[in-house]
Amino acid sequence: GGGGIGMLPVRGTDEIAAAWRQAQSTAAKAFGASELYFETLIDAPRHVEFQFLADRHGQVRCLYERDCSVQRRNQKVVEEA
């Protein structure tokens, strides 16, 4: 969900049912809909963003990249360019 709302790590099949129920409840309260999907959990990922500038003539430039991996509760704390 937005800002990590409703994201729950599941590390074993025995955790799926309880996590699913909890995530559905959270999604319904936060977003008014309880549809969910699974994603593969990647432990210790890097969050890198790229800033591009483009004009109407098709010229595109990558201005810089920034590391946004420092997060707290799935929210960026530091963006380092």
Ranges assigned E (strand) in the chain: 48-54, 60-67, 71-72, 75-76
Angle at 20 between CA 10 and CA 37, to 5 degrees: 85
Annotation says 29 is catalytic: no
Marked catalytic residue, from 2, 76, 77, 78: 76
DSSP-derived secondary structure letter, 72: E
Tell me the catalytic residues.
Answer: 76
